Structure 1
Amino acid sequence: MRHERLYDVSENANVRFVGFASDRARYDFGLVFTNQFFGKPLVICMQTGRSTLLSADEAENVEYLQRTFNISSCEEAEQLSVFFQHAIPRMTVEPEHE
């Protein structure tokens, strides 16, 4: 079997670990800030191993967070959305120079 290498990059990434509890659940997340993935941090739920690349704009999508992290309560997903909107910086797009 032949494999085609798509990328192989080493990088010193900024990693933030955050744990917090709501009235219904405890959350432990790892946020990996890197230059890969178009500036989107890799968000990893430490309890379930579920992960996603998440921008601040995508953090506003409560249904996406609920589905991705398997959260049963819409209220819990809304609280998580607020947390991620504060924890993940907004990306700015640099205009291309001609």
Structure 2
Amino acid sequence: MELFDKLYDEHEKVKVRFVGFTTEDTRFDFGIVYTNMFFGKPLVICMQTGRSTLLDPKDLEDIEYIQSSFRIKDSKQAADLVEFFLDALPQIPFETQYE
């Protein structure tokens, strides 16, 4: 008996960037996985907490989303992170498959 309906099983060679940086108050360490999956949105992983999310430049307009994704309590720290990601993430057109 088949227990699961497989939705996808893809293999892909991807580019991964590991970056660590500091601001006035905080140290950040991230892995950024650039993939063709997820409509080209990079998978961003906080190496300190293991929390991850898919991000594109449009997501960076919502600082509360960034705060909740990475559990950042201070809005200044989140704003610093957004500033970094504005340069680090590719500018891609994004269209959702869900309506």
Structure 1-normalised TM-score?
0.89
3-state SS in 1 of match to 2:18: strand
Shift of 1:85: 0.9
Q: Which runs of 4+ in 1 moved over 3 A?
A: none
Question: For residue 60 of structure 2, what is the aligned residue in structure 1?
Answer: 59
**Structure 1, unpaired ranges of 5+:** 94-98
**Structure 2, unpaired ranges of 5+:** 95-99
Contact 1:57-1:90 at 8 Å conserved across structures? no
Question: For residue 17 of structure 2, what is the aligned residue in structure 1?
Answer: 16
User: What is the alpha-carbon distance in structure 2 between the residues aligned to residue 92 and residue 40 of structure 1?
Assistant: 10
Moved more, 57-66 or 46-55: 57-66
Question: For residue 42 of structure 1, what is the aligned residue in structure 2?
Answer: 43
Shift of 1:37: 0.2
* Equivalent pairs, count: 93
User: What is the alpha-carbon distance in structure 2 between the residues aligned to residue 27 and residue 7 of structure 1?
Assistant: 32
Question: For residue 6 of structure 1, what is the aligned residue in structure 2?
Answer: 7
RMSD across aligned positions (CA): 1.2
Contact 1:30-1:45 at 8 Å conserved across structures? yes
1:81-92 equivalent positions in 2, closer than 5 A: 81-92=82-93
Structure 2-normalised TM-score?
0.88
User: What is the alpha-carbon distance in structure 2 between the residues aligned to residue 21 and residue 85 of structure 1?
Assistant: 16
